[in-house]
């Protein structure tokens, strides 16, 4: 007799994934169909027992019911072929013995009706009871998880948190125990149903043979071997059931002997795996229920290729939620909940906020989405690539808070590679895309904020000093530089980070710096930024504190060798600044380059256009005729000092200039 091919794995009971629930629904459907069929079969047997005068008709109906077992198409019926064939043989025998005498009633009651009644009242009723207990335990666990998910992060009450953790652990253990008992009963039912189908008919046929010797003499010669094989089959199935039941009891004891920390959320002891390219588990997703109201739903999420999938409980398969290729992920603070992160599509039009159950899950989800967004899964050896990139990322994202000098003898990552070309053009394209290591040295530190030294702050605010006015208004004692400047444009920006790069003549270095800066912020959970004013003039770029009007940092326009906006996220822009490195004692100094990344309230292309215009003005200053020709085509303010990037009449001839922020 073939063994049972389908069974519920007890090891999956604790996770309670949608896949396990989907398989469980198949078992429950099978049990329901078996219950219906058992009731019908029992009615047929009771009719045989109670209606002696209609014995012929009753056995005929019984014969049909035995044949119908094959037509039921049980979802877990694989391996029942021998049972089906045996039942067909029994149906034929019942058809031949449809004229049995009423004296068989007592034997039929003991050997045919009673075993099936016992199977229905004991086994099928036990399944129904365990199903109800499992459902109640599941509801209690869900309610406990909802309470725990609402646990505040800022005003954390240790007593409340401890009570909720204990409640979650208690309900989870209770659900685990109920599910194990339920799964064991469903697995055992696959064996018991075979015995329950075969044993009554075996007793019925043996009773027929005992009481009708004449009929036995006619049929026993051809039935002895058949009945013997059926008896052996039943014994084999019972032996398999006993062995499987013992194995399930041992597995149940082993699974329930774990520590309480297994049931407690946020008690993970394993380290965070930052090289994952696949991830699955339950997350809370925030959904809008109104204009200002939101609701959180606990759903099962998993990654498949480059997609984020979601599968509700009871669903046969999951559906795609978001394409993760080139997407961005970062930690966020949301409704005073812990372990929240946001995934945003490359276009920025689609985003979702998710909440993990524990800190380890939270960090692994962020790293997994970040790895998938780089399309690592498309490589030949994604695991090795993920490990290598994670190692480089960890070395490259050591945050510092101020510009610091390197110790003597330390390698300078700012230094350009030999053969690097210094250009001042707005943009250049290379024929072949360079590797990331050719653009930025591995392990290069990233600066996430620009801290103004206290001495410099005092110097700028000491008597006789002045604050930079971003609106172009000047006092009588303004510097000559401000008076001579033909362009002053201010943009509200947020500094994202800066890092040393190896070259300044390629826009790809800006895009790579943007990627590393945003990845570093996600890995280190750095999501706070400070708003500043970026002033673009025809001679320099200045980053100004909007509160104190103190210049945080300033660059001469000639030092800016490259600038570009992000190709997909238009609010990101960056530029490369050239400096000099005298650490080797060279009088002229070696060229070094640094990239600065900003997020703007407006399109980054507008800032790039303004910088390009400033460079054109600076270049035109060298030739009075060229400057006059340039100014002739540009509108000025009434005092003739500054260029109007957005004319007051509202008529613009250049679409790129239409939405520029002008504070002239």
pLDDT tens-digit readout, 87-112? 888 888 777 766 655 567 777 888 88
* Residue found by looking up tokens 């008896």 in the block: 231
Domain match, 139 and 44 both: yes
3-state DSSP call for residue 629? helix
| CA distances, 642 to each of 559, 632, 639 (Å) | 22, 13, 8
Question: Could you give the number of structural domains in the chain?
Answer: 3
What pTM did the predictor assign?
0.45
129 and 208 in a single domain? The answer is yes
Find out whether 234 and 199 touch, Cβ atoms under 8 Å: yes
State the DSSP code for 601.
S
- At residue 453, the pLDDT reads 43
Residues 178, 289, single domain; the answer is no
Is residue 637 within 8 A of residue 664, CB to CB? The reply is yes
Write the CA distances from 212 to 202, 224, 365, 585, integer angstroms.
16, 15, 74, 118
Residue 35 lies in a domain: yes
What span, in angstroms and rounded, lies between the C-alpha atoms of 390 and 385?
Answer: 8
Inter-residue contact 397 to 524 (CB < 8 Å): yes
Whether 289 and 203 map to the same domain: the answer is no
Residue 355 DSSP SS3: strand
Residue 163 placed within a domain: yes
Q: Quick one: 313 and 174 in the same domain?
A: no
Q: Are residues 202 and 297 in the same domain?
A: no
Same domain, 80 and 216: yes
The predicted pLDDT at position 582 comes to 65
The answer as to whether 333 is a domain residue is: yes
Sheet containing 307-311: order of strands: 319-323, 307-311, 294-304, 280-288, 351-355, 340-344, 328-331
Q: In terms of residue numbers, what domain contains 135? A: 18-221
Q: What is the per-residue pLDDT for 283? A: 94
With tokens 């597995």, the residue in question is 251
The string of pLDDT tens digits covering residues 319-362 is 888 988 888 888 888 877 889 999 988 877 888 999 999 888 99
Question: Quick one: pLDDT at residue 10?
Answer: 87
**pLDDT at 432 (0 to 100):** 59
Q: Which of 170, 203, 221 is the last residue of a domain?
A: 221
Distance of CA 251 to CAs 180, 244, 452, Å?
Answer: 9, 10, 64
What local confidence, expressed as pLDDT, does residue 652 receive? Answer: 35
Which residue, 628, 625, 626, 658, is CA-closest to 644?
A: 658
The answer to whether residue 296 sits within a structural domain is yes
The mean pLDDT values, 10 residues at a time, for the chain of 664 residues are 69 87 90 92 83 70 84 78 85 72 74 88 91 93 89 81 90 92 91 88 82 67 78 90 92 87 80 87 88 86 90 83 86 85 85 90 89 76 71 47 36 34 37 72 81 44 43 42 62 89 87 87 74 87 86 88 87 89 67 90 84 85 71 59 46 35 32
Residue 442 falls inside a structural domain: no
Best CA proximity match to 96, nearest among 200, 232, 196, 212? 212
Q: Residue 573: which CATH number?
A: 2.30.29.30
Q: What is the 3-state secondary structure (H, E, C) of 478-499?
A: CCHHHHHCCCEEEEEEEEEEEE
- C-alpha distances (whole Å) from 475 to each of 458, 464, 467, 541 are 21, 13, 11, 21
Instruction: Name the token pair of 120.
Output: 């229905």
Structure tokens at 12: 């999956």
Domain closes at, from 200, 221, 242 = 221
Q: Kindly state whether residues 288 and 375 are assigned to the same domain.
A: yes
252: enclosing H helix or E strand? helix 213-256
Residues 169 and 317 in one domain: no
> Which of 174, 193, 221 is where one domain is finished?
221
Residue at 243 is within a domain = no
Spatial neighbors of 618 by CB under 8 A, at least 6 apart, are: 538, 539, 557, 558
Exposure on the CB side of residue 380, measured as CA atoms within 13 A? 0
Q: Is residue 510 part of a domain?
A: yes
Give dist(CA 28, CA 314) in Å, integer. Answer: 12
Q: Are residues 535 and 624 in the same domain?
A: yes
In a domain, 547, yes or no: yes
Helix (H) or strand (E) segment spanning residue 340:
strand 340-344
**Residues 213 and 288 occupy one common structural domain:** no
Q: Which residues, in sequence order, are bridge partners of residue 304? A: 307
Please check whether residues 335 and 213 belong to one and the same domain.
Answer: no
pLDDT of residue 281: 92
Task: State the residue for tokens 């812990």.
Answer: 338
Which CATH number covers residue 79? 1.20.1270.60
């Amino acid at each position: 007799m073939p063994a049972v091919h389908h069974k519920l794995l007890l090891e999956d009971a604790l996770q309670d994934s949608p896949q396990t629930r989907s398989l469980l629904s198949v078992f429950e459907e099978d049990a329901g169909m078996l219950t219906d069929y058992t009731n019908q079969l029992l009615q047929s047997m009771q009719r045989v027992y109670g209606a002696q005068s209609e014995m012929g008709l009753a056995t005929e109906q019984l014969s049909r019911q035995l044949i119908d077992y094959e037509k039921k198409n049980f979802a877990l019926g694989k391996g029942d072929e021998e049972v089906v064939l045996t039942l067909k043989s029994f149906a034929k025998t019942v058809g031949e013995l449809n004229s049995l005498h009423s004296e068989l009633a007592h034997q039929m009651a003991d050997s045919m009706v009673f075993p099936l009644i016992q199977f229905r009242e004991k086994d099928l009723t036990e399944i129904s009871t365990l199903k109800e207990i499992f459902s109640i335990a599941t509801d209690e666990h869900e309610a406990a998880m909802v309470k725990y998910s609402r646990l505040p992060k800022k005003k954390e009450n240790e007593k409340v948190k401890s009570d909720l953790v204990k409640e979650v652990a208690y309900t989870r253990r209770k659900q685990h125990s109920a599910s194990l008992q339920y799964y064991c009963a469903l697995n055992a039912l696959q064996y018991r149903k075979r015995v329950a189908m075969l044993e009554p008919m075996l007793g019925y046929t043996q009773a027929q043979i005992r009481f009708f010797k004449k009929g036995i003499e006619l049929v026993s010669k051809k039935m002895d071997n058949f009945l013997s094989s059926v008896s052996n089959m039943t014994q084999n199935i019972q032996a398999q059931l006993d062995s499987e039941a013992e194995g399930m009891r041992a597995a149940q004891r082993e699974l329930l002997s774990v520590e309480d920390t297994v049931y407690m959320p946020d008690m993970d002891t394993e380290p965070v795996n930052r090289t994952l390219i696949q991830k699955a588990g339950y997350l809370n997703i925030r959904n809008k229920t109104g204009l200002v109201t939101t609701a959180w739903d606990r759903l099962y999420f998993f990654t498949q290729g480059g997609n984020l999938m979601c599968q509700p409980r009871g669903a046969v398969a999951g559906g795609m939620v978001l394409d993760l290729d080139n997407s961005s992920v970062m930690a966020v603070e949301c409704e005073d909940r812990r372990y929240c992160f946001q995934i945003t599509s490359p276009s920025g039009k689609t985003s979702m906020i998710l909440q993990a159950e524990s800190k380890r899950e939270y960090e692994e989800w962020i790293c997994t989405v970040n790895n998938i967004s780089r399309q690592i899964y498309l490589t030949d050896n994604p695991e090795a690539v993920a490990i290598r990139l994670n190692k480089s990322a960890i070395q490259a994202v050591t945050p510092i808070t101020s510009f610091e000098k390197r110790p003597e003898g330390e390698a300078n990552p700012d230094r350009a590679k030999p053969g690097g070309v210094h250009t001042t053009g707005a943009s250049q394209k290379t024929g072949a895309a360079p590797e990331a290591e050719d653009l930025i040295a591995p392990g290069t530190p990233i600066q996430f904020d620009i801290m103004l030294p206290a001495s410099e702050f005092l110097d700028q605010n000491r008597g006789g000093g002045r604050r930079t006015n971003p609106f172009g208004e000047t006092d009588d004692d303004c510097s000559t530089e401000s008076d001579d400047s033909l362009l002053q444009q201010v943009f509200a920006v947020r500094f994202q980070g800066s890092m040393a790069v190896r070259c300044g003549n390629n826009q790809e270095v800006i895009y790579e710096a943007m990627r590393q800066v945003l990845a570093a912020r996600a890995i280190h959970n750095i999501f706070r930024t400070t708003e500043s004013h970026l002033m673009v003039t025809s001679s320099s770029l200045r980053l100004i504190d909007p509160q104190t009007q103190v210049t945080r940092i300033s660059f001469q326009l000639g030092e800016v060798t490259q600038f570009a906006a992000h190709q997909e996220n238009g609010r990101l822009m960056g530029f490369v600044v050239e400096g000099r490195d005298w650490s080797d004692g060279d009088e002229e100094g070696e060229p070094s380059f640094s990239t600065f990344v900003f997020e703007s309230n407006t399109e980054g292309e507008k800032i790039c256009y303004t910088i390009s215009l400033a460079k054109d003005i600076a270049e035109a200053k060298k030739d009075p005729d060229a400057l006059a020709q340039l100014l002739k085509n540009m509108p000025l303010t009434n005092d003739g000092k500054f260029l109007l990037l957005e004319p007051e009449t509202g008529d613009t001839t250049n679409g790129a200039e239409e939405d520029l922020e002008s504070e002239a």
